[in-house]
């Protein structure tokens, strides 16, 4: 008898996936632009406020200016430094500054003069030319004499002395054109040349001028002169009068310590706002209390 043959049934193929399923990773949240923490916002705001502050810029400019001055003036006297606004060097131990003017400076804007300032140097006073000899009145005197005080400048008038002409007649002419008021600076006589006369004759006429002015106004005038002219012709003869001395481009006035002087004209090349020409620059030898005592009462 034969053995029956078993039939084999082919297995069904199960498809195998090439890749296994993976878990999805949690994606990190993207930060939006400008989404800074609060503390950084505060810090940034503070920094911007500093940059935009006028005080910050003022401080930076001041530091830069001081550094530049130190570099520019290195090797020079630190007590006689350049002031850019005025375009001159100014001795620094004086606190009261002023100018003197005549027709040479033309029409002056006195308010601009008053408002000009650099590092606490500003113009407090002005001497104004009034007359010369016995016939000349400065064409700008009346305007300057009126407008200077209006702007807050303390003013004084001066006369340019001519030694060949009678000192008394010059004094009469001067007083005909100048009237002082309380708070003005004393009147000044400007004597700086001999005009061909002997020194003794010049001193005689100058003495007559001074005596007449003092007798009529009860105010002792001041004498203006260049340092060399004063030393050669006036020193020892008018010691009772306050002096205004011209001596240019020096850190200090080279005069004997016993000499009584009130004003020093230390430059003739200053640039001043409101004046279209260079002008003389002066300092007062004293503090504000001494300055007030000098004024007309």
User: Rounded to whole angstroms, how far apart are CA atoms 163 and 204?
Assistant: 9
Same domain, 152 and 47: no
Same domain, 52 and 97: no
Same domain, 102 and 146: yes
Same domain, 228 and 133: yes
Task: Supply the residues annotated as catalytic.
Answer: 100, 192
Domain end position, chosen among 46, 72, 98:
72
Helix 199-217 to helix 167-177 angle (10° resolution) is: 40
User: Rounded to whole angstroms, how far apart are CA atoms 246 and 228?
Assistant: 9
Give pTM, 2 decimals.
0.75
Same domain, 192 and 252: yes
pLDDT at residue number 203: 98
pLDDT digits (tens, 9 = 90+) for 220-277: 999 999 999 999 999 999 999 999 999 999 999 999 888 989 999 999 999 999 999 9
pLDDT digits (tens, 9 = 90+) for 75-133: 566 789 999 999 999 999 999 999 999 999 999 999 999 999 999 999 999 999 999 99
Q: Is 149 domain-assigned? A: yes
Q: Is 10 domain-assigned? A: no
Q: Is 220 domain-assigned? A: yes
Q: Is 254 domain-assigned? A: yes
**Domain containing residue 284:** 85-294
Name the one residue in this structure whose structure tokens are 């400007």. 190
Q: Is 164 domain-assigned? A: yes
Same domain, 93 and 61: no
Same domain, 135 and 57: no
pLDDT digits (tens, 9 = 90+) for 259-271: 989 999 999 999 9
């Amino acid at each position: 008898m034969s053995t029956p043959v078993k039939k084999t049934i082919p297995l069904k193929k199960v498809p195998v996936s090439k890749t296994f399923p993976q878990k999805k990773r949690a994606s990190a949240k993207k930060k939006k632009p400008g989404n800074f923490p609060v503390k950084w916002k505060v810090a940034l705001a503070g920094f911007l406020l500093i940059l935009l502050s006028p005080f910050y810029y003022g401080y930076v400019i001041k530091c830069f200016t001081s550094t530049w001055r130190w570099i520019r003036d290195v090797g020079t006297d630190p007590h006689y430094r350049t002031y850019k606004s005025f375009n001159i060097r100014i001795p620094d131990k004086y606190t009261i500054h002023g100018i003197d003017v005549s027709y040479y400076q033309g029409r002056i804007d006195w308010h601009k003069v008053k408002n000009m300032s650099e590092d606490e140097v500003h113009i407090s006073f002005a001497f104004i030319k009034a007359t010369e000899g016995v016939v000349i009145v400065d064409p700008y005197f009346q305007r300057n004499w009126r407008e200077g005080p209006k702007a807050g400048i303390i003013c004084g008038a001066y006369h340019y002395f001519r030694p060949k002409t009678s000192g008394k007649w010059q004094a009469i002419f001067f007083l005909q054109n100048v009237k002082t008021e309380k708070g003005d600076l004393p009147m000044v006589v400007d004597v700086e040349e001999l005009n061909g006369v002997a020194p003794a004759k010049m001193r005689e006429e100058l003495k007559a001028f001074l005596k007449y002015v003092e007798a009529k106004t009860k105010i002792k005038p001041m004498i203006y002169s260049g340092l060399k002219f004063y030393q050669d012709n006036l020193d020892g003869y008018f010691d009772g009068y306050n002096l205004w001395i011209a001596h240019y481009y020096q850190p200090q006035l080279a005069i004997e310590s016993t000499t009584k002087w009130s004003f020093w004209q230390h430059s003739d090349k200053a640039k001043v706002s409101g004046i279209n020409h260079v002008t003389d620059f002066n300092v007062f030898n004293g503090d504000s209390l001494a300055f007030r005592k000098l004024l007309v009462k």
